Amino acid sequence: MLNNKTIVVGVTGGIAVYKACDVVSRLKKLGANIHVVMTKSATEFVSPMTFQTLSNNFVTVDMFEEVKTWEVEHIELAKKADAFLIVPATANFIGKLANGIADDMLTTTVMATTSQLIVAPAMNTNMYKNPIVQENIEKLKRHGCIFIDPTSGLLACGDTGAGKLETPEKIVASVEKFFEEKEAKRDLEGIKILVTAGPTIESIDPVRYLTNRSSGKMGYSIASEAVKRGASVILVSGKTDLEVPSGLDKYIQIESAEDLYEAIIKEYNACDVVIQSAAVADYKPKTYSDKKIKKSDGDMIIELSRNKDIAQELGKIKGDKILIGFAAETNDLLENAKRKISKKNLDFIVANDLTTEGAGFKSDTNIVKIINSAGEISEYPKLLKTEVADVILDSLLKIMDNKDK
Ligand code: PMT
């Protein structure tokens, strides 16, 4: 059911507009409060009166039509929306949205909303496959839009292929799924989590450095899953090729282990939890040469000095914070992981064996064992790093629940 949910439905101009009537009717029957905004071209296919009758609310088309309330209408609608569904979405509308164009009632309202945008495209198959349209869709996905992909079949223009609006049943099911997922797991609301991710870089001279193989995927997955579950998240990351997850409280990019330490210490007091998945260099070159070191005929020895063990330092000033570490091992996984728990004063450690296929660095999956401070071990099969992130966050919640008892 969608009781108490306000959904703004944007209708753009294509033959599939008639199916949007069915979508509005179904959403209304599920208890949602629906406000329809149509583009001028959509009104060429179905009159606003149809949507007005189905939604039991005034339909808005024109920015400058006579006002029905004293509120600034597009802003008011944008604020009211719990979700914003565009059905059908034309190539033109998708293009405008992807490029920040707000030149009518619908595009200005969409631009002003902070609610989830759900877009159901419908268009000719060649238009849909056009790389420019696909690039626009990808761009919007990166900004967090949910797309309900069109199906394949005989299109109104006579062509056959992808571009047919998904059925009203499935569109409504996607909207329901969005609300279900949103409400199911807001179990980290009110918790401030600092996540570290990626590799550190220790410079030798202006062109050379020491680093490791961390891609950042594990840490970024933890950060984005924690955001989805309602946490306030600070991500402190070494250099990676990954897109910064949306919805973070703060993103801090660091280079060296020393930068990482300073960034954590600055934020530490305000955090409830620190999850340390960054692969931190234990050593750095003893001296940094500000000029490129010239090669000579013989071998070269670079002397290294010890970096701070950041996790151990945090362990010393733990207070009531929850500290979670990782153990990246190639041998004696459990013994090494257990030793790290007590040395670094951790609540639990996530141990991954770097020698196992599908675990550790770079892959989209990981195979982990979670070991708590009492030495209890939970083993997991090969999971996507996003799933491992959820397992870690579930373990965190268990610890928080036990603390409250
Ligand atoms: O980034 P990906 O490609 O997705 O790969 C994920 C990962 C393999 C990097 C990740 O799953 C992982 O294991 N991260 C920890 C890597 C590591 O440094 O492990 P460690 O066993 O050397 O260190 C133990 C813990 O102490 C870690 O939480 C580490 O962040 C911390 N540490 C280590 C050294 C140091 N000088 N300071 C630290 O705080």
Between the CA of 234 and the centroid of ligand 1 the distance, in Å, is 17
Q: Which two tokens stand for residue 385?
A: 């790093």
Please state, as a whole number, how many other Cβ atoms lie within 10 Å of the Cβ of residue 312: 14
**Ligand 1 atom nearest 340 alpha carbon:** 24
Question: Across all residues in the chain, what is the average pLDDT?
Answer: 94
Rounded mean pLDDT, 373-383:
94
Between the CA of 349 and the centroid of ligand 1 the distance, in Å, is 10
On the question of pLDDT at 144 being above 90, the answer is no
Interval 237-250: pLDDT, tens: 999 999 899 889 99
Q: Which residues pair with 233 in a beta bridge?
A: 193
What is the reported pTM?
0.68
HSE-up of residue 49 (Cα within 13 Å, Cβ side):
1
Does residue 282 have a known ligand-binding role?
yes
Contact 330, 353 (CB under 8 A): yes
Between the CA of 355 and the centroid of ligand 1 the distance, in Å, is 15
On the question of pLDDT at 69 being above 60, the answer is no
Interval 216-240: pLDDT, tens: 999 999 999 999 999 999 999 999 9
Give the distance from CA 306 to its chain's centroid: 35
Which pLDDT score, from 0 to 100, does residue 257 have? 98
Does residue 353 have a known ligand-binding role?
no
Interval 261-317: pLDDT, tens: 999 999 999 999 999 999 999 999 999 999 999 999 999 999 999 999 999 999 999
User: Which residues form the catalytic set?
Assistant: 157
Q: How confident is the model at residue 77 (pLDDT cuts 50, 70, 90)?
A: confident
Write out the H or E segment, with its range, that includes residue 192.
strand 192-197
Helix intervals (H) in 277-373: 310-316, 333-343
Q: How confident is the model at residue 76 (pLDDT cuts 50, 70, 90)?
A: confident
Domains with residue ranges and CATH for the chain: 6-183 (3.40.50.1950), 192-290+301-404 (3.40.50.10300)
Nearest-angstrom CA–CA distance, 238 and 364: 18
On the question of pLDDT at 74 being above 80, the answer is no
On the question of pLDDT at 401 being above 90, the answer is no
Q: How confident is the model at residue 155 (pLDDT cuts 50, 70, 90)?
A: confident
Residue whose CA is at the smallest distance from ligand 1 atom 34: 280
3-state secondary structure of 404: helix
Measuring CA to CA, which residue among 223, 10, 195, 252 is closest to residue 109? 10
Between the CA of 325 and the centroid of ligand 1 the distance, in Å, is 7
276 lines ligand 1 (CB under 6 A): yes
Nearest-angstrom CA–CA distance, 81 and 245: 23
278 lines ligand 1 (CB under 6 A): yes
Q: How confident is the model at residue 75 (pLDDT cuts 50, 70, 90)?
A: confident
Rounded mean pLDDT, 154-175:
92
310 lines ligand 1 (CB under 6 A): yes
189 lines ligand 1 (CB under 6 A): no
Interval 112-138: pLDDT, tens: 998 999 999 999 999 999 999 999 999
On the question of pLDDT at 200 being above 90, the answer is yes
On the question of pLDDT at 67 being above 60, the answer is no
Interval 355-371: pLDDT, tens: 999 999 999 999 999 99
Rounded mean pLDDT, 4-11:
96
**Ligand 1 atom nearest 312 alpha carbon:** 39
Interval 178-199: pLDDT, tens: 998 877 778 999 999 999 999 9
Q: How confident is the model at residue 12 (pLDDT cuts 50, 70, 90)?
A: very high
346 lines ligand 1 (CB under 6 A): no
Residue whose CA is at the smallest distance from ligand 1 atom 36: 309
Does residue 292 have a known ligand-binding role?
yes
Residue whose CA is at the smallest distance from ligand 1 atom 13: 328
Q: How confident is the model at residue 340 (pLDDT cuts 50, 70, 90)?
A: very high
Which pLDDT score, from 0 to 100, does residue 154 have? 86
Q: How confident is the model at residue 139 (pLDDT cuts 50, 70, 90)?
A: very high
Between the CA of 302 and the centroid of ligand 1 the distance, in Å, is 23
Interval 15-56: pLDDT, tens: 999 999 999 999 999 999 999 999 999 999 999 999 999 999
